[in-house]
A and B are shown apart, each in its own frame.
Chain A
Amino acid sequence: MNLASLLSKDRIILSLKPGKKEKVIEDLVYAIKKGTDAELIVSTLLKREELGSTGIGKGIAIPHCRSLAVDKLEIAVGRTTKPMKFNAIDKKPVSLIFLIIAPPQDPGNQYLITLGKIVQIAKVMAKKKLISKPNTPDEFITLINQVEKDLKKRN
């Protein structure tokens, strides 16, 4: 399963308003679910953040959790208009956020595989300074596709 196929245009927000970490996570969750489902997901994601920031460095954060509120892997992407505080491990502000929610049981552990893949791809995007390049969600998906292909060739 490639990452690009798990992305959908309406869940890629390239002009996300920076703000408090909680608020930004909430905004991204709302691209996926509404109502009490969204509330549950936000609570679980914030509990995950309390264990240690998912800001992995180089301007990237990957908030993630499993939740009863979803029945398949769901991903939302946000790029903030300005870097924002995320308590990242390198203490640097964050501008690219991949948010991933997985169902409690997923055969083949697609969740951790996808999570690992996103970490790899996001790091390449940061290293090659590609984060600010895409202007539309379509261009973003194309870029992800490209980075993913390059990684596959390298491995």
Chain B
Amino acid sequence: MSSGIVEMHLKLLFDLDNLLNDIDEPKYKKIGFKVEQEEKQSLLRTRKALLKKLPRDMADVYERLKERYQRAIAPVDNGFCFGCFQKLPTELLTQTKGMITCPNCGRILYWRKKQ
């Protein structure tokens, strides 16, 4: 994934999309957390603004993937794409620049920092 501020916007966009999914889950509402429509609309506006901050091609790819898979970003785990569970080619694993997508499913790949 690309570096710095763009990466941060993309990751936050992804987190917010997961949040938007969760608040509509019946199970979530059952726990007792209620979210009003008004607040949800405001979150949708935030996501739109974030999307605008991304480079055009990245925003387009993200939206297309989200449409297709619900989750557009997949973490890389042990050399595997965590979206489609396929082994990633070695040459891809050493690439560090730009937005990297899974050659199998197309999801945007994300490498977790080692703690």
Q: Which residues on A are within 8 Å of B, measured CB to CB?
A: 33, 35-37, 39-40, 43-44, 47-48, 50-52, 54, 56, 65-69, 71, 103-105, 109, 112, 115-116, 119
Contacts of B62 in A (CB 8 A): none
Residues of A within 8 Å of B102, CB to CB, are none
Assembled-state Cα–Cα distance A36/B32 (Å): 31
12 residue pairs A–B, Cβ–Cβ below 8 Å: A47-B19, A50-B43, A51-B35, A65-B18, A67-B18, A69-B112, A103-B75, A104-B14, A104-B75, A112-B25, A115-B31, A116-B27
B15 touches A68 (CB 8 A): yes
Is there an interface contact between A66 and B22, defined as CB atoms closer than 8 Å? yes
A112 with B31: CB separation less than 8 A: yes
Which A residue's beta carbon lies closest to that of B12? Answer: A43
Known: A68-B73, A71-B75, A112-B25. A54 touches B33 (CB 8 A): yes
Q: Which residues of B contact A (CB under 8 A)?
A: 8, 11-12, 14-16, 18-19, 22-23, 25, 27-28, 30-36, 39-40, 42-43, 46, 71, 73, 75, 77, 82, 110, 112-113, 115
A47–B32 CA distance with the chains assembled, in angstroms? 18
Whether A105 touches B71, Cβ cut-off 8 Å, given contacts A40-B8, A115-B31, is yes
| Smallest Cβ-Cβ distance to B77: which chain A residue | A71
Docked-complex contact A105 and B36, CB < 8 angstroms: no
Report A-chain residues with C-beta under 8 Å of the C-beta of B36.
51-52
